[in-house]
Amino acid sequence: MNNNAFKSWGASLIGPSHLKLGLPNQDAWMSRHYSWGDVVTVSDGLGSRPRSNVGAKAACLSVFEAAKAYHICPEAKIEDILRLVHSHWLVKIAPLEPHECSATCLFVIRLSGKCLLAQLGDGLIAVCGKSSDEPIFLNDNKEDSFSNFTYGLGLEFMPDQWQTRTVMTEHCNAFVLCTDGISDDLLPEKQSVFARELYLSYRDCSYQKRTSDLYRWLKNWPVPGHSDDKTVACLFKKERPLNNE
């Protein structure tokens, strides 16, 4: 058994406003583990778009296609990997129009000794390293923009709208990704605490306990008046066997 193998978990819950209106959950998350590495991704369909739930699922699937190409050509330019995500997304939403399906896209691709973090639009990616390490984040800073505006996948590929970061795997214990239904309710100074506590709380849990806990606290989200869909996912280093997994 590889005691340094990476595992993943995640949960997505429809928000009260979409439930009330009879709309689908517009968030999505997915993860895959390959012999050569691991991928975890989350996406939030833009709420004003009629088929954004389709766009969110397509965004996650497109990341897997780009990750496979990145594995074959690890020296490829990061911009070209992002372009692949966009190209596959356009194919996967067809015959729908891009403006109907626009969605954010956040992902982590682990390839042996390095990890690529990328984010388009709102949400949060946090890296949990050693306790002494400075926290590493990617997030959408809305301080200088309208709070209801965010970037998303669309007709044109806009590399300048993406944020990226490459970190060494040896410095990382876990990556926590979440959509803005969660990240917008976190104070900036609490983001690292939130991510680290999630990782530490669930790294050794059984699948059943972790899943029930996640859905329970998402359903009972402690912020008054919350209405958005909520999605969180984690890619973490498994240092010892987990019960029932």
User: pLDDT by residue (tens digit) across 129-153?
Assistant: 876 556 678 776 555 444 567 899 9
> What is the average pLDDT across 6-13?
95
Peptide bond preceding 24 in cis form (omega within 30 of 0): no
Measured from the Cβ of residue 48, the count of other Cβ atoms closer than 10 Å reads 9
Please count the structural domains in the chain. Answer: 1
pLDDT on residue 239: 66
The C-alpha angle with vertex 114 and arms to 110 and 120, in degrees rounded to 5, equals 60
**Is 244 within a domain?**
no
Q: Which residues constitute the domain of residue 158?
A: 6-237
pLDDT, tens digit (0-9, with 9 covering 90-100), for 210-239: 999 999 989 988 887 788 899 999 999 976
**Is 154 within a domain?**
yes
Assign residue 124 the CATH number of its domain: 3.60.40.10
pLDDT on residue 4: 58
Q: Tokens at residue 86, please?
A: 């966009």
Decide if 42 contacts 179 (C-beta within 8 A).
Answer: yes
**Is 242 within a domain?**
no
pLDDT, tens digit (0-9, with 9 covering 90-100), for 175-197: 999 999 999 999 888 888 899 99
User: 37 — alpha (psi -120 to 50), left (phi > 0) or beta?
Assistant: left
Q: Which residues contact 69 (CB under 8 A, 6 or more apart)?
A: 76, 81, 84
Q: What are phi and psi of 49, to 5 degrees?
A: -100, 130
Q: Tokens at residue 45, please?
A: 């369909």
Distance, in Å, from the CA atom of 173 to the CA atom of 91, rounded to the nearest integer, reads: 34
Sequential DSSP letters for the chain: --TT-EEEEEEEE--HHHHHHTPPP-EEEEEEEETTEEEEEEEEB-TTSTTHHHHHHHHHHHHHHHHHHHHH-TTS-HHHHHHHHHHHHHHHHTTS-HHHH-B-EEEEEEETTEEEEEEESSSEEEEE--TTSPPEEEE---TTS-TT------SS--GGGEEEEEEEGGG-SEEEEE-HHHHTTS-GGGHHHHHHHHHHHHTTS-HHHHHHHHHHHHHT-SSTT--S-EEEEEEEE--SPPTT-
**Is 27 within a domain?**
yes
pLDDT on residue 144: 46
Distance, in Å, from the CA atom of 229 to the CA atom of 136, rounded to the nearest integer, reads: 25
**Is 182 within a domain?**
yes
pLDDT > 90: what percent of the chain?
67
Closest CA to 195 of 242, 146, 128, 118: 128
Instruction: Give the pTM.
Output: 0.91
